[in-house]
Amino acid sequence: MTVRWITPLLGTAAGSEVGEIDGAVIVDVRNFVDRAGNTADSIRPKILAGYDALREGRKTIVCCDHGISRSNAFAIGILATFEGISFNDAVRKVVEATGEKEIRPDVLAAVRLALSDLETRDKARRTERWLLTGGSGAIGDLVRRTAPHGIELIVPGRNDVDLLTGSISLGLYAEANNVSRILHLAAPRIGNTNRALGEALIMLRTALETARHLSVPIFIPSRWEVFAGYNESLTATENTPARPEGILGETKFLCESLALAWEAQGRAAVTVLRSGLVFGDGIAPHFIREFIRKVRIGEPVTTHVYDNGSPELDLIAASDWTRAFWSLARSGLTGIFQAGGGGLLSTRQIAEMALTAGGRGCQIEELRVEGNSANIKLDSTKLKNAVGWLPSCPLPEALNGFFNEASKARLFP
């Protein structure tokens, strides 16, 4: 099947070429005419069908007879609605991605009219105000920059709310801003101290108390380190017993346990998204930033070697993480879910990628460390079944692209 992808989730195709794509939604517009005469009332349901599918994180294919005019015109309406961009910007994006310039202007005009009417009639219904704690952090900033159309993020500053002094200030702030969901991403700036563990729990309990008081759901991210104590190779599901190691792992484990206890007791509607390490869009784990820095100045890159070999890590591209985050957050589902990158890469492999992207030969030094490393792959089957989420491309391809971009753009000085 030939699908021309506009985004990783939205594409267009000829109806005769649409086959089976696991979990894909087909928006069929072949019944519309390829000229003037299509009504806004008949166009709107198709735009909303595509919008809803994208909101759920599902691949969405718009098809007409030849995949030239009607499919791309409707895709423009869906894209403008979902990404919250102007109609003209959506036109440019679709034409650039598909190379298709033969979209009929009268069909475009009808979609534009339907979109304008849709925005006027449905804006109030579809716009929600969600409160985001930790908006100044790297992941919090990523969430702010990728908020989809229909969600307004309310981000309190340090002068507005103190999460370490109880829930009164957060509750008053949330109530005054009429928020309908809390995204709790706040965490201590230095996370590997005993004090940070305590502060993380205090901040989380403040957010949970606020969610309970206002009867709004709360969403909490977590990480793979809740399994770091296994010291072996393991594919972990949501049902795998946690075995944390180190302050960060113990902090994430205790926060998960507290949040899920509140969910189990019906005290708050809680969703936890556990993921691998996020990279891309200006974000990278510290060790990867250090690899890039050393390659740039020509210093040898040091990796560790344990008794069971080089550590292997589950990494996830920022674009995939945000898709998982927003798809799950908007689904209304509660409980714990996992988003992994689809495989593991050793730190040795990651170092070699950094060296190749930097245009240098292999200059890798290995440091022996006693004991075994935890090589944990997160199973994302539950998330896939719930919202249709999968990584957009294989992990090595995504990470190579990240290193090439970082090398050219001189990221992470």
Mean pLDDT of 92-121: 85
pLDDT of residue 150: 83
pLDDT of residue 119: 62
For the chain, percent of residues with pLDDT exceeding 90: 71
Identify the band that residue 30 occupies on the pLDDT scale cut at 50, 70 and 90: very high
Identify the band that residue 84 occupies on the pLDDT scale cut at 50, 70 and 90: confident
The token pair that represents 168 in the structure block: 């009164």
CA distance 56 to 36: 32
pLDDT of residue 361: 65
Lowest mean pLDDT among 14-18, 211-215, 342-346: 14-18
In 277-359, which ranges are continuous DSSP H helix? Answer: 286-297, 318-331, 347-357
Lowest mean pLDDT among 114-123, 208-217, 227-236: 114-123
Mean pLDDT of 140-154: 92
Identify the band that residue 121 occupies on the pLDDT scale cut at 50, 70 and 90: low
CA distances from 17 to 3, 84, 95, 198 (A): 8, 30, 20, 57
Mean pLDDT of 111-139: 79
Mean pLDDT of 5-13: 91
Instruction: Look up the pTM and report it.
Output: 0.72
pLDDT of residue 303: 95
pLDDT of residue 358: 84
Report yes or no: 41 and 23 within 8 Å, Cβ to Cβ. no
- Select the more confidently predicted residue: 408 or 49: 49
Mean model confidence pLDDT for the chain:
91
pLDDT of residue 408: 78
Mean pLDDT of 240-268: 96
Mean pLDDT of 249-273: 96
Identify the band that residue 407 occupies on the pLDDT scale cut at 50, 70 and 90: confident
Lowest mean pLDDT among 83-97, 204-218, 234-248: 83-97
Identify the band that residue 124 occupies on the pLDDT scale cut at 50, 70 and 90: very low
pLDDT of residue 260: 96
List the domains of the chain with CATH numbers: 4-124 (3.90.190.10)
pLDDT of residue 363: 85
pLDDT of residue 413: 60
Place of tokens 């086959």: 19
pLDDT of residue 56: 79
Mean pLDDT of 185-208: 93
- Select the more confidently predicted residue: 267 or 406: 267
Cβ-based neighbours of 216, under 8 Å, separated by 6 or more: 174, 179, 180, 181, 182, 269
The CA R_g of the chain, rounded to the nearest whole Å, is: 23
The token pair that represents 263 in the structure block: 């969910």
Instruction: Examine the pLDDT at 411 and tell me if it is beyond 80.
Output: no
- Select the more confidently predicted residue: 286 or 126: 286
pLDDT tens for 10-22 read 999 998 877 667 6
CB atoms within 10 A of CB 139: 19
Mean pLDDT of 331-349: 95
Instruction: Examine the pLDDT at 1 and tell me if it is beyond 90.
Output: no
Sign for the CA dihedral angle at 149, 6, 54, 75 comes to positive
pLDDT tens for 57-78 read 788 999 999 889 999 999 999 9
